[in-house]
Structure 1
């Protein structure tokens, strides 16, 4: 009997160990991402509170033309040029205009009548932008992004192995799996809270993790390669590729805008002056308002010799987004690309991001996201409490086997598939296996301490 059951017990111990160590690595990141993600879910409400002092302004008389407002924003930041003019949702709101110097952008809030600059703030210094960077890359650039990507990948392993371990077998019932046993003592209660939360939140948590991967630097580059091969048309990526890539894109836009200004000031013959001057806004702003695009809507000046202005809907619900190219002299539309015209990969990512950010179906989407990150937070906290209560002496505390299970090729296949889907995870998994097999098992005390040996 021992010979028959030793192999399943060994498998059970292995799955337990991978679950334990995946959690050990992921818990700090899960707590961090749950808190920052929970805050960012309510971006519209938080931003509305931040902008409240600059709404409901009282005017007496006509407003300044858009071109004059844009010039006032440029004058407020020495050495800057116009990057984006944001259409106000209401005529009583301050006009928001983004100007830039190189890769550094500043958002100016202006009184559209008096041209008083009510507030200036760096785009990357805004509270919600800081939360976005903290959430996606720990404010540490590509290295922070790589850590988040690794933690997200191992969190999937933690969830899958947890489901595999705790799913009821042999008629053991649903107590402790689908609902907690509230009168079985504190140890059982914490165990059940951990298991039950994991079962209910697992699908939504895995979706959140996978839909957030396009922002990761390494996986985002991997997706970009696949996208460039699969797409039949060239389309600009509609999601952030990280702080470094965003800074480079801003610097290119700034350089292009300055080149167009210089070209105009020197009497360039390839396009009339109005096409690349701020005066074009006086034509484009009313023309754009008449299109009734989903807000916020931004108008960007030409950055290439063609002199085409770009009008873009940056709606949080990405399937509502539209990008239009216009002639600055007449407001004539050269091209229009709605969301359903974008490449298939872009549409899949767009739906995923809209759901990830809680923007696809309003408040219900936000509350569903909040419930998911709250569940992940409870998973992390309960795992730490269980470990602390049961930690043994002389070892780190990988849980001992608690039963016999059959081998699961499905679990193995999913893990291997994830390794190919997320190459950074695959590399880390391979390195972990090599170190365990070739080094840790050969040491005297490490196997017992790490749970590699009973």
Structure 2
């Protein structure tokens, strides 16, 4: 729950709970100053991603085709794709059902092109470069602020700070919104629509925040699990699938190398897992001995081992690379994250080197598979509708927060008008414990809190002009 409500003078003779309220409100205000622009950006880009993935997929993979009497072989479809877009096919995506096209990724001199092809006639019905889509642009902005090259780290860090402070907003917002002084519990969830001015905005901010607070917390945490510090240095490495159990030689390339644009396609728990290598004698033999290991036979192998509907088949990247079969909700292959599956095949022997299913994920990996699917609206129309309502609610909350601040600020005053810091802040054991738990669980939040504390208690007291600007 976000608030940038301006402060008014603390009333004389405050009770202990009132002093604590003003202290929490001040920190809620500080966090909101930083977080609001990011939340607005995340909500708006989230809406764009929802539209271009669920409503209007840009690669044409949801376009309709008329089923014919006979489906062309995968080899014939591949030849038709190359005839239309000269190059080398390195990925095939089977149609999600009988009325949808097949996709081929063709590597050309000008980059990768996604070709949507009618599997009955071989006619190309849509083509476009793989990179540079609206989804790619919005996802990159959503995750790294479009910082180029190595600068992506800074964009990721700024967003991670915003998400970490967002957790503080939710926790502090719930504490401030909790009914007090004889209020009924319903007051927290039912807005006073008949109210006027600031009272209206405060009431709607409180109730909308109460309704979406838990969802916002979930979105922030699932997003943090992908962030560079909390996700990349702590959570993800601790919950990465152990490739050693495959018993196959391992490459120095990880599964993350199979992400080719800003849109991540590899399951979270596999991103840091090394890929197996081709060229050994290990593996489970599925194809009859002597069968050539080509796209046609690998697709047939996928069907034989249980892949139905949409399955993605990626060719080996080099002489030690493997064929990869995958179906996961992150790539919109299925609305069911518990059906995620990744299989690697030796390019020389056709033996299955690895077969990873949702049941094999560690506990946090399972939670992330479901959490990411919910976060990205991949689990059906109900999920899309929920995410749409959530993004619009976040935008309303952010705008309402600024309106509350504007209405409450002193007229014509060129200062932030932060809530006043009580002369004595009552510190309780549970409050210290909550702050310690949040700081230890999310290190970036702890470091940010220390920085804000130093600013509030040290810098503002020493720099009078800055103190006047904030007060």
Which of 16, 19, 38 is residue 47 of structure 2 equivalent to?
38
The answer to whether the aligner puts 1:370 opposite 2:379 as a matched pair is no
User: Structure 1: how far apart are the matches of 2:308 and 2:432?
Assistant: 45
Residues 332-388 of structure 1, C-alpha deviation per residue, up to 9 Å, x if partnerless? Answer: 64542211012333212112112222334x333333333333322221111111111
Q: Give the match's secondary structure for 1:397.
A: coil
1:287 to partner: Cα distance: 3.5
1:170-220 CA distances to partner (integer Å, 9 max, x unpaired)?
Answer: 323346422122334332111100111111211111011111222223333
Which residue in 1 is equivalent to 2:8?
A: none
User: Is 1:136 the counterpart of 2:143 in the alignment?
Assistant: yes
Deviation per CA, 1:381-405, whole angstroms, max 9, x where unpaired? 1111111111112531213589x99
Write out per-residue CA displacement over residues 30-83 of structure 1, whole angstroms, 9 at most, x where no aligned residue: 122122223434565324587388431475x855432343345456556x5433
Q: What does 1:232-271 align with in structure 2 at a 5 Å threshold?
A: 233=245
Paired residue for 1:187? 198
Residue in structure 1 matched with residue 444 of structure 2 by the alignment: 424
Distance (whole Å) between structure 2 residues aligned to residue 421 and residue 119 of structure 1: 47
Asked if the contact 2:59/2:114 (under 8 Å) is kept, the reply is: no
User: Are residue 105 (structure 1) and residue 112 (structure 2) matched?
Assistant: yes
Selected match of 2:221 from 204, 210, 217? 210
TM-score, normalised with respect to structure 1: 0.78
Aligned runs of 1:118-197 on 2, under 5 Å?
Answer: 118-140=125-147, 141-174=152-185, 176-197=187-208
Match of 1:289 in 2: 303
Q: In the alignment, is the contact (CA less than 8 A) between 1:309 and 1:328 conserved in 2?
A: yes
8 A contact 2:22–2:420 mirrored in 1 = yes
Instruction: Label 1:93 to 1:196 Cα distance change in 2 as closer, same or farther (>3 A).
Output: closer
SS in 2 for 1:84: strand
Is the 8 Å Cα contact of residues 325 and 334 (structure 1) preserved in structure 2? yes
SS at structure 2 position matched to 1:366: helix
2:338 is aligned to: 319
One of 8, 15, 26 as aligned partner of 1:17: 26
In 2, Cα distance between equivalents of 1:310 and 1:178: 49
Shift of 1:154: 1.1
Partner of 2:231: 220
Which residue does the alignment assign to 1:69? 77
1:387 aligns with 2:398: no
- Check 1:243–1:157 CA distance in 2 against 1; reply closer, same or farther (3 A cut): farther
Q: 1:192 to 1:238 in 2, by over 3 A?
A: farther
CA RMSD of aligned residues (A): 4.2
Deviations 1:428-448 (A, max 9, x none): 222222233332221123224
- The corresponding residue for 1:267 is none
Could you tell me how far apart the structure 1 residues matched to 2:135 and 2:374 are?
A: 18
Secondary structure of 2:229's counterpart equals: helix
How far apart in 2 are the matches of 1:49 and 1:176? 44
Partner of 2:374: 355
* Contact 2:315–2:323, Cα closer than 8 Å, also in 1: yes
Check conservation: 2:97, 2:310, Cα contact below 8 A: no
Look up the match of 2:361: 342
Change (3 A) 1:408 1:221: same
**CA–CA separation in structure 2 for the residues paired with 1:144 and 1:340:** 34
Greater Cα offset, 157-166 or 122-131: 122-131
Residues 216 and 242 in structure 1, CA contact (< 8 A), matched pair in contact too: no
Q: How many Å separate the matches in 1 of 2:417 and 2:263?
A: 42
Counterpart in the other structure of 2:209 = 198
In structure 2, C-alpha distance between the alignment counterparts of 1:233 and 1:49, rounded to whole Å: 38
| 2:463 matches 1:443 | yes
Q: C-alpha displacement at 1:84, in angstroms?
A: 1.5
CA distance in 1 between counterparts of 2:194 and 2:439 reads 41
1:88 aligns with 2:95: yes
SS in 1 for 2:434: helix
1:210 alignment partner, SS class: helix
SS at structure 1 position matched to 2:194 = coil
Give the distance between the partners of 2:431 and 2:460, measured in 1 at CA.
24
The count of residues paired between Structure 1 and Structure 2 equals 427
Cross-structure match for 1:300:
314
The secondary structure found in structure 2 opposite 1:30 is: helix
Q: 2:128 & 2:92 partners in 1: Cα distance?
A: 15
Measure how far apart 1:8 and its partner are: 5.6
Q: Residue 285 and residue 216 in structure 1: after superposition, are their counterparts in 2 closer, same or farther (change >3 A)?
A: same
How far apart are 1:284 and its partner, in Å?
2.2
